[in-house]
A = this chain, B = another copy of it.
C-alpha cells in the first residue's frame, strides 16, 4: 500500500489516462503491466458525481465497476421505515463494485464530489478472467473490506458514543498521515468527508449525539475544528486510546 508520494516519475508506454492517474500505484490496477493497463484503459470511462448523488441504486444490477479517483463514496443500507446505516466508506484508490456478484444490495452514494474511473462490468469481467494477478488483487481488496466491516461491527455493537466518534476520527487521521507521508509527527489534519447526519448513520447514532461528542472531544483538547470541514488531531495515539475505551 504505497502512499501517494511513492508515485514513480514516468513509466514508458503507459496509457495517457493512467499516466496522469493519481491513484494508479495504490488502486487494484497497480498489479498490471503497462501493456495490460493500456488495454484496460481503453475501456475506461471517467464519471463524475456531485455530493449526495446515487452512483448505484439498491435494486439495480451493477452494470459497471470502477476505481475511485477522488472523493468519498458511502455504501448505504436502508430499512423499510427509513432508518439507515452506512455500511462502508470508500476513498480514492478503492474499488467500487462487486466483481462476480449479480446483485448489488447496497446503495452507493457520493459523499463528496466524486470522480470514478469506470469500466463496463461485462468487459471488465472478461478482462479479469484473463488476468489472474488482477483477480488476486481484487480478492485481497475484498478481504480487506470484510475485515474492516468486522471491525465496524465491534464498534456498532459494543462501543460507547464517545468511543465511536473517537474511532471514526482516528481512522481518518491515520488515513491522512498515510497519504501525506508526514513521517509520524503524530499530528494530522484532514477534511471530514461528510456532514453530521452521515457520520451519525455511519456510527449508529443520532446527529445530536455526534455533535455533542465532537464538542466533548474538542473541549478535552483531543481535536480542534478548523474553518471549513477540517479537523486537526494533535496526538493521534491519544485519540486512538480514547477510541478503545481508555477513559483518561
Which residues of A are in contact with B by a Cβ distance under 8 Å? 75, 77, 79-81, 83-85, 87-88, 98-101, 105-106, 136, 139-140, 142-143, 145-147, 149-154, 156-159, 203-204, 244-245
Contact = CB atoms under 8 A, between A and B. Distances in A.
24 contacts: A77-B151, A77-B153, A79-B154, A79-B244, A80-B244, A80-B245, A81-B245, A87-B150, A88-B150, A99-B139, A100-B139, A100-B140, A101-B143, A139-B139, A139-B142, A145-B146, A146-B146, A146-B149, A149-B150, A149-B153, A153-B153, A153-B156, A156-B156, A156-B157
Nearest to A80: B244
Contacts of A136: 100
Q: Looking at A106, A145, A158, A244, which has the most chain B CB atoms within 10 Å of its CB?
A: A158
A123 B158 CA distance: 38
Contact of A106 (B79, B150, B158): B150
A129 B58 CA distance: 34
B77 A143 contact: no
Copies of this protein, total: 2
Contacts of A100: 136, 139-140, 143
A180 B79 CA distance: 29
Given A140-B100, A146-B142, A152 B154 contact: no
B85 A158 contact: yes
Q: Looking at A101, A140, A146, which has the most chain B CB atoms within 10 Å of its CB?
A: A146
Nearest to A140: B100
Given A80-B245, A87-B153, 14 more contacts: A77-B153, A77-B154, A85-B158, A87-B150, A88-B150, A98-B143, A142-B142, A142-B143, A145-B146, A149-B149, A156-B156, A156-B204, A157-B203, A157-B204
Q: Looking at A145, A153, A204, which has the most chain B CB atoms within 10 Å of its CB?
A: A153
B157 A85 contact: yes
Contacts of A106: 150
A147 B204 CA distance: 18
